[in-house]
Amino acid sequence: MTAPLLSAERLASLPEAVRPARPRVAGPPGIVHIGLGAFHRAHQAVYTEDAMLAAGDDRWQILGVSPRSSDVVRTLRDQDCYYTVLWRDGTGSTPRVIGSLADAAHLPSEPERVLDAIAAPGTAVVSMTVTEQGYRIEPGTRRLRVDDELRADAAGRVPRTVLGLLVRGLQRRQAAGAGPVALACCDNLPDSGALLRGLVHQFCELLPSAQARPVLEFLEHVGFPSAVVDRIVPATTGEDLAEAAGAIGLADHAAVLAEPFGQWVLTDDFPAGRPPWERAGVRFTADVEPYEQAKLRVLNGTHSALAYLGGLAGYRTIAESVADPALGAFARRLIEEDVLPTLRRPGGVDLAGYADTVLRRFGNPALRHQTAQVAADGSQKIPVRLLGVIRERLAAGQVPRHALLAVAAWLRYTVVAESDTGAAVAVRDRFDAELRAAAGPNLLEHLPEVLAVVDPELAEDTGFRSALRERLSTLTTSGALGAVT
Ligand code: CS2
């Protein structure tokens, strides 16, 4: 017999420790969030729920917008937007039903509703988790890569791109006289506030000039906080959904699983107000850079390294990769020898302790985080996670062998697309065709052209190229496990 579906009405049947501790209130959302993936549901939505609870402040319910998939919207609405987070710490799972996501909207079929919500006076924050590739950044320049989709949005069709939606929303907000707002990018991107501000400006350059001028003026009043977000949230599987249903006694098709660890650091640039997130453990600081570099380079850089090297070695999950003694030792050397020397210490944080925590978190077998998931979109991730480390170490006269091997593994994984046993690996990357075309029949011979796709400046550096070529040849002849030992 299938369990009845989770819904507002059925919350009462849940144990007190599982159901939301605050009732949802009627009223407009305070936050419009773009990107309804598992990460948002297990991270910002939970912090927002906790902040409202701690401060008794109900204004911050979220309208979640799905830029593409209609399934997630239908699924959430069918269960009144309640869903379970299964906290998995390696010893067991603890369910908690979250209620801060008050409603969901599907951008392609409900654009007016979404634009009106961005323009509504009650909306103070428009936040987003659309993954690195959702911003359409050109890896080599870190600027908007202008394509037909962006041009079509700028020419006035119903927006389909994130940038198009944001700018249309701001235009409507300005016309409605609804006042300032904050646009908060919560993806793994450095200097995310300034980056998003830049991208919005670059999109405005595509608008007819009579339209561009007023938006540019309005942008003076828009906040662009920078964010560092952290929580490992793997894609949900059918087994996870079955476990969630078992845990709460109700079917839940929108459940997500996550590790209990979480971090959120923000600059306080919210001109129209914001949830009292500090009451939920969010750290506000004027200088996010040290947190950001530690997170992106230690956690994400090592994550990517384990995804590519582990994937080439035939491991399906990050936990399996890091449990391999050779790969585990490699991950530690990458952090200690190559990454940590490039970091400034974020206030009071012990970086060696942070590295230990990260490696322990990767080892959590209950997460079953797929190497293929972390390997996706490397062309957007590698420049942010590893190339900065390499550039800085080379400038300091050091050869960052481990970081170079991780980049070599990314290239082999993405361009050659074969594991060490010759099995095909499934590559998901917006730029994979471009990288393969640049490599032609021989990656080693065409390294400069391939590297130019992601970092034209580093591609010119002959020292970098020859060190990378050496790592790539070792990887090709010895395989991932041979190359790390
Ligand atoms: C991962 C991240 O998929 C990836 O590329 O490195 O999603 C990682 O799990 C999160 O940033 C953890 O905070």
Atom 4 in ligand 1: which residue has the minimum CA distance? 374
Q: Is the CB of 411 under 6 A from ligand 1?
A: no
Q: Is the CB of 373 under 6 A from ligand 1?
A: yes
Q: How far is CA 48 from the centre of its chain?
A: 18
Taking the C-alpha atoms of residue 22 and residue 28, their distance in angstroms, rounded to an integer, is: 17
Q: Tokens for 92? A: 């067991």
Tell me how far the alpha carbon of residue 107 lies from the centroid of ligand 1, in angstroms: 25
Mean pLDDT of 138-149: 95
Taking the C-alpha atoms of residue 23 and residue 11, their distance in angstroms, rounded to an integer, is: 10
Atom 5 in ligand 1: which residue has the minimum CA distance? 374
Taking the C-alpha atoms of residue 283 and residue 263, their distance in angstroms, rounded to an integer, is: 8
Query: pLDDT of 21-38, one tens digit each?
Result: 988 999 999 999 999 999
List the strands of the sheet with 101-106, edge to edge: 101-106, 62-66, 31-34, 125-128, 181-185, 222-223
Q: At 91, is the pLDDT very low, low, confident or very high (cuts 50, 70, 90)?
A: confident
Q: Is the CB of 73 under 6 A from ligand 1?
A: no
Mean pLDDT of 110-116: 98
Q: Which of 299, 371, 377, 386 to mutate to test the pocket of ligand 1 (most atoms within 8 A of CB)?
A: 299
Q: Tokens for 39? A: 């990460």
At 289 the pLDDT is 95
Which atom of ligand 1 lies nearest, measured to the CA of 234?
Answer: 9
Sign of the dihedral defined by the CA atoms of residues 67, 72, 75, 80, in that order: negative
Q: Is the CB of 231 under 6 A from ligand 1?
A: yes
Considering only CA atoms, which of 39, 35, 33 is closest in space to residue 66? 35
Q: Is the CB of 188 under 6 A from ligand 1?
A: yes
Taking the C-alpha atoms of residue 11 and residue 59, their distance in angstroms, rounded to an integer, is: 21
Residue 140 pLDDT greater than 80, yes or no: yes
Cβ burial of 28 (10 Å; 0-12, 13-18, 19+) is middle
Cβ burial of 5 (10 Å; 0-12, 13-18, 19+) is middle
Atom 9 in ligand 1: which residue has the minimum CA distance? 232
At 90 the pLDDT is 82
Which atom of ligand 1 lies nearest, measured to the CA of 229?
Answer: 13
DSSP H or E segment with residue 166: helix 162-176
Taking the C-alpha atoms of residue 377 and residue 386, their distance in angstroms, rounded to an integer, is: 14
Domain boundaries, the chain: 8-284, 289-484
Question: What's the CATH architecture for 8-284?
Answer: 3-Layer(aba) Sandwich (3.40)
Atom 10 in ligand 1: which residue has the minimum CA distance? 232
Query: pLDDT of 393-439, one tens digit each?
Result: 999 999 999 999 999 999 999 999 999 999 999 999 999 999 999 99
Q: Which of 40, 129, 188 to mutate to test the pocket of ligand 1 (most atoms within 8 A of CB)?
A: 188
Taking the C-alpha atoms of residue 21 and residue 15, their distance in angstroms, rounded to an integer, is: 11
Q: Which of 293, 297, 300 to mutate to test the pocket of ligand 1 (most atoms within 8 A of CB)?
A: 300
At 347 the pLDDT is 80
Q: Is the CB of 297 under 6 A from ligand 1?
A: no
Question: Three-state DSSP class for 329?
Answer: helix
Tell me how far the alpha carbon of residue 181 lies from the centroid of ligand 1, in angstroms: 28
Query: pLDDT of 323-361, one tens digit each?
Result: 999 999 999 999 999 999 999 888 878 999 999 999 999
Which atom of ligand 1 lies nearest, measured to the CA of 39?
Answer: 7
Q: Is the CB of 300 under 6 A from ligand 1?
A: yes
> Helices marked H in 416-461 — which ranges?
432-439, 447-454, 456-459
Q: Is the CB of 371 under 6 A from ligand 1?
A: no
> Helices marked H in 369-460 — which ranges?
371-375, 378-382, 388-395, 401-411, 432-439, 447-454, 456-459
Tell me how far the alpha carbon of residue 150 lies from the centroid of ligand 1, in angstroms: 27
Residue 133 · residue 430 · CB < 8 Å? yes
Rg (CA), the chain: 23
Considering only CA atoms, which of 371, 383, 420, 370 is closest in space to residue 301? 383
Class of domain 289-484: mainly alpha
Query: pLDDT of 217-239, one tens digit each?
Result: 999 999 999 999 999 999 999 99
Q: Tokens for 80? A: 């009144």
Considering only CA atoms, which of 154, 134, 151 is closest in space to residue 196? 134
Q: Is the CB of 38 under 6 A from ligand 1?
A: no
Tell me how far the alpha carbon of residue 131 lies from the centroid of ligand 1, in angstroms: 10
At 2 the pLDDT is 81
Scanning the structure block, which residue is given the tokens 């003026």? 217
Q: How far is CA 10 from the centre of its chain?
A: 32
Atom 13 in ligand 1: which residue has the minimum CA distance? 230
How many residues are listed for the chain in this entry? 485
Query: pLDDT of 43-63, one tens digit each?
Result: 999 999 999 999 999 999 999
Considering only CA atoms, which of 244, 270, 273 is closest in space to residue 256? 244
Question: ∠ CA 192-197-200 to the nearest 5 degrees?
Answer: 120
- Distances from the Cα of 250 to the Cα of 37, 38, 146, 245, angstroms: 21, 19, 46, 5
Residue 485 pLDDT greater than 80, yes or no: yes
Tell me how far the alpha carbon of residue 37 lies from the centroid of ligand 1, in angstroms: 13
Sign of the dihedral defined by the CA atoms of residues 234, 235, 239, 240, in that order: positive
Task: Look over the chain and give the mean of its residue pLDDT values, rounded to a whole number.
Answer: 97
Taking the C-alpha atoms of residue 369 and residue 292, their distance in angstroms, rounded to an integer, is: 22
Residue 269 pLDDT greater than 80, yes or no: yes
Q: Is the CB of 374 under 6 A from ligand 1?
A: yes
Atom 11 in ligand 1: which residue has the minimum CA distance? 230
Question: Three-state DSSP class for 36?
Answer: coil
Considering only CA atoms, which of 390, 419, 230, 231 is closest in space to residue 308? 419
Q: At 1, is the pLDDT very low, low, confident or very high (cuts 50, 70, 90)?
A: low
Tell me how far the alpha carbon of residue 232 lies from the centroid of ligand 1, in angstroms: 6
Taking the C-alpha atoms of residue 204 and residue 170, their distance in angstroms, rounded to an integer, is: 11
Which atom of ligand 1 lies nearest, measured to the CA of 188?
Answer: 11
Query: pLDDT of 243-257, one tens digit each?
Result: 999 999 999 999 999
Tell me how far the alpha carbon of residue 373 lies from the centroid of ligand 1, in angstroms: 9
